[in-house]
Amino acid sequence: MCLTLYTHPMCPFAQKAAIALHHSFPSSMYQVVDLYNSSGPFPKSSLRAIESSFNLTPKGYIPVLVHDNKCLQESDDILDYISTLDSSLSPTNLESHSIVKSAIKGLPTNTNKPITLLQTLNEIVESSEYLGGYKFSISDCTALPFLQRIKETHGLEGYDYLELYYSKISGSDFFKKSVSDEWWWWW
Average pLDDT, the chain: 93
User: Is 184 contained in some domain?
Assistant: no
Whether 54 and 134 share a structural domain: no
Whether 43 and 13 share a structural domain: yes
- Segment 27-40 shows an average pLDDT of 89
Q: 131 pLDDT band (50/70/90 cuts)? A: very high
Q: 110 pLDDT band (50/70/90 cuts)? A: low
Domain count, the chain: 2
pLDDT of amino acid 102: 93
* Final residue before a domain boundary, out of 28, 62, 87: 87
**Cβ(13)–Cβ(62) below 8 Å:** yes
pLDDT of amino acid 92: 97
Question: What is the residue range of 65's domain?
Answer: 3-87
List, in sequence order, every residue forming a beta bridge with 133; answer none if it has no partner. Answer: 130
pLDDT of amino acid 73: 96
Q: 113 pLDDT band (50/70/90 cuts)? A: confident
**pTM of this structure:** 0.94
- Note the pLDDT tens digit of each residue in 168-178: 999 999 999 99
Instruction: Write the burial class of residue 178 (CB in 10 Å: 0-12 exposed, 13-18 middle, 19+ buried).
Output: buried
pLDDT of amino acid 187: 47
List, in sequence order, every residue forming a beta bridge with 3; answer none if it has no partner. Answer: 67
In the chain the first and final C-alpha atoms are separated, in Å, by: 31
Q: What is the CATH number of the domain that holds 155?
A: 1.20.1050.10
